[in-house]
Structure 1
Amino acid sequence: MAFGLVSEILFGFTGLISIVNPFAIAFVFLERTETLSDDERDALAKKIAINAVCVLCVAFFVGTPILHFFGISMQALRIGGGLAVAVSGWKMLNAPDVVRSVGAVKNVDSDNAMSKAFFPLTVPLTTGPGAIATAIALNANRSHKFSEFLLSIVASLCISLLVGVVIYWTYSRANIFSRYLGIEGTKVAIRVSAFLLLCVGVQIMLTGISDFLGPLIGAHDVTSTG
């Protein structure tokens, strides 16, 4: 049972962390919080990490019922969420350079930044539709057997907490990463991260469109053949 729990945690964590990709999004976070002090950025990173854990837990435990209640399909979730991610990446890709030298005077606007901790910094930039869909899929076939059900609950909580810890660690140290890269290196990293964010959004949309059109095309082929 212990081996099964560890295996499930590692499988779920690996899948989610690769989709969330906090190491790349850390530079997006840095660009969005460029006017904050290190302490304020740390506090915001902690809030985003807590929000991310909550979002993942909701997706794990009540994601499927919520989608069914509102009549939202997984395809619609991917297309709509992917569009939001792609638009955000496009705006960042075309935004003017805002990276300043380390230690420069900053006009802190922490209240405004904190108001954006959930949207858009947590959803969809950190735990976007890809992460939510993955969390829902991981628990879609949850067994009704009590022991396996309990195992799945523990695994889901551990996975969410581990992802939250990695998000906080990378986001809170985004400024340190930029110091090693330098001003020009950070600009390049931000542009690359923005481009990757755009590509991720487009890929999520394409996956949703493919999942939606696939059955229709298959049914049309069967009808034509018949």
Structure 2
Amino acid sequence: MAADFISFSLFALSSILIVVNPLGALLVYNSITEFMDSKDKRRVAAYGCRIAGLVLIFFTLLGSTLLSLFGITISAFTIAGGVLLFGIGMEMVYARTSRAKVTATEKYESIDADDISSMPLAFPMISGPGTITTVIVLSKDAPILSQPIELGIILGSVILTLIITYLVLVSSEQITKRVGQREYRVVNRLMGIMLMAIAVQFIINGISQAFPMLTGTGIT
């Protein structure tokens, strides 16, 4: 039992952390805060992570309920989410910022925006479609009342990921000096491969739930 919780904890944390991709968020953060002083940069980072946290906690707790209201099965959502994450992983492997996270237009418009912490930093860069999909899929088997431990693990993983992301953002100057484009591309590609593996696992799980006879789970 303890081993299962440890395994789930590692899977949840790695899934959310890889999808958020703090290094990728750092590049966008640097570009949209280029002309700000240190105090304003820290404010943007803190507020952006706070908004992203509220969004992800909301979908962790109520995402499955929203799917039920629209008549969407969790298996269909899991498969669709796996496809989406696979596409994001492919973009990371090719060292490009995924359009599922932030488009060129959103990045350009944010330069003159009054509040860039909510758009595009919090959404869609940190708590974008890929991250929202991930927390909903992870929480599908952890309803609030029957599986509070698993739900707590997911929420803890979200909070820890946002803390790491915040620390990366506020340390942007130091990280930029030490990590060049070549190193960034290597790390991004490795994380992309891991994300693609997680996406494939999501797809396999969704197919197993939708078509149990294919995997033998429906045979008694």
Query: TM-score of the superposition, structure 2-length normalised?
Result: 0.63
CA distance in 1, matches of 2:91, 2:41: 22
Q: CA RMSD in A?
A: 4.3
Please list, as runs of the form range in 1=range in 2, the aligned pairs for 1:140-219 lying within 5 A after superposition. 140=143, 142-143=145-146, 160-181=158-179, 186-214=180-208, 218-219=212-213
Greater shift, 211-220 or 66-75, is seen at: 211-220
Counterpart in the other structure of 1:3: none
Number of positions where the alignment pairs a residue of Structure 1 with one of Structure 2: 195
Please list, as runs of the form range in 1=range in 2, the aligned pairs for 1:2-81 lying within 5 A after superposition. 15-21=11-17, 25-35=21-31, 36-37=33-34, 39=38, 40-81=40-81
CA distance in 2, matches of 1:211, 1:152: 17
Maintained 8 Å contact 1:22/1:126: no
Check 1:197–1:44 CA distance in 2 against 1; reply closer, same or farther (3 A cut). Answer: farther
Matched residues, percent identical? 16
* Larger Rg over CA atoms: 1
CA distance in 2, matches of 1:153, 1:133: 12
Maintained 8 Å contact 1:17/1:163: yes
SS of the equivalent of 2:59 reads helix
Query: TM-score of the superposition, structure 1-length normalised?
Result: 0.62
Maintained 8 Å contact 1:88/1:198: yes
CA distance in 2, matches of 1:209, 1:132: 14
Q: Which runs of 5+ in 1 are unaligned?
A: 1-7, 97-107
Maintained 8 Å contact 2:76/2:210: no
